[in-house]
Amino acid sequence: MKLYAPSYYKSFKCVGGDCERSCCIGWEIDIDKKTLEGYRAGKGEVYDRIRATVATDASGAHFRLVDGDRCPHLNPDGLCDIIIALGEGALCHICREHPRYYNPLSGSVEVGVGLACPEAARLILSNCDFSVCEVGGAIPEGIYPIEDAEVPEWIYRELFAYISGMLRGGESVEKNLSALIHLGLWSDDAQCYSYRSVSPADSFTILPLDTLIGDYISIIEESFPSLEALDGRLIPRILAATENIANSPDALFRSLSGDGRLDFFRLLFYFTHRYLAPSMYDARWAERLLLSATLSLSLYFLSFSEGAPLVDTAVDFSASIEYSSENIERLLDYLSERFF
Ligand code: SF4
């Protein structure tokens, strides 16, 4: 089975002990069943030490964090004692795969790296070619292509190819945001009527930037208060940034029409690659396209309004908000109710 990834994926490498925001701090690390069985069956001092750090509850097993919310196996040099003693094969699924995400399609799987990892964020935010390519590597256990998909994979391929081409073409932000609305409607038709003869590239109305930004401001103001963030200050900060922009939008318009445009496209590419493919399961093409724009703009607003580096803001945003599947579902439900 083929594995496809954004072109920057092949350059990703965890920097381990040199990481300024280690993923072994601040997250509860769930242990999958197979790895847990291995830890339970292992003999010797190393396994005794691992077992002493495992806690179980109704939701499964995880490592009990120690002072500073650190994984108990993260040593003072920022390295993992499990890898040092037993090799990477002894890691649980999450530790082995982070920060990768996988999106199964019917004949292939899409893989990428997530913005919560600073190394991945630097790659995502320096992307210039907006394309995916076939990559080698094994597909992890538990990731299977979708059998008997009700939704044909060509809809995803056409949509994604069109969006990639549009971002590469350096069109205006208003053209890209207007295109997402058009593509959502196109994909619903394509799915209902096997509408392959009509190209997603057919002409559509390009809305003014102030109208589009005004709509997304209202989406963020209405939907973000219902989200939960690991860092409780983040949602109030996003809402304050959105209010600042609503009160005084001209500098943002200048940024999105100038130097900031490429950064915004990089965010849009990442969020679209990450969240569009699951439409193969739920057929929420239009909502997922609007979701990509909402996430991209809310993150851009925050960085722009606070004058903070986009990479740092992106890591905070992703770790605190985006990595929660409940938050993504809430945003999708909100967009469904509001527009469809
Ligand atoms: S956040 Fe990324 S670079 Fe840092 S330790 Fe985790 S995977 Fe490695």
Strands 108-113 and 2-6: parallel
Higher-confidence position of 340 and 270: 270
Q: Report whether pLDDT(197) > 60.
A: no
Average pLDDT for 271-279: 96
What is the value of pTM for the model shown?
A: 0.94
**How sure is the predictor about 141, in pLDDT bands with cuts at 50, 70 and 90?**
confident
Sign of CA dihedral 35, 318, 289, 268: negative
Q: Is 16 left (phi over 0), alpha (psi -120 to 50) or beta?
A: left
Average pLDDT for 213-228: 97
Give residue 279 CA to ligand 1 midpoint distance, Å.
29
In this structure, the number of other CB atoms found within 10 A of the CB of residue 206 comes to 16
**How sure is the predictor about 27, in pLDDT bands with cuts at 50, 70 and 90?**
confident
**How sure is the predictor about 212, in pLDDT bands with cuts at 50, 70 and 90?**
very high
Residue with tokens 């809305």: 207
23 lines ligand 1 (CB under 6 A): yes
- Nearest Cα to 243, choosing from 219, 222, 217? 217
pLDDT in tens, 178-196: 999 989 988 877 877 666 6
Give residue 257 CA to ligand 1 midpoint distance, Å.
33
Of all protein residues, the one whose alpha carbon is nearest to atom 7 of ligand 1 is 14
Distance CA 292, CA 103 (A): 15
pLDDT in tens, 146-183: 887 778 888 899 899 999 999 999 899 999 999 999 89
Of all protein residues, the one whose alpha carbon is nearest to atom 5 of ligand 1 is 22
- Sketch the domain layout of the chain as residue ranges: 24-97, 153-339
Of all protein residues, the one whose alpha carbon is nearest to atom 6 of ligand 1 is 23
**How sure is the predictor about 138, in pLDDT bands with cuts at 50, 70 and 90?**
confident
* Sheet containing 60-63, strands listed edge to edge, beginning at the edge strand earlier in sequence: 30-31, 60-63, 54-57
Give residue 98 CA to ligand 1 midpoint distance, Å.
8
**How sure is the predictor about 37, in pLDDT bands with cuts at 50, 70 and 90?**
very high
Distance CA 331, CA 226 (A): 9
Counting ligand 1 atoms within 8 A of each CB, the residue from 82, 98, 101, 117 with the most, and so the one to mutate, is 117
Of all protein residues, the one whose alpha carbon is nearest to atom 8 of ligand 1 is 14
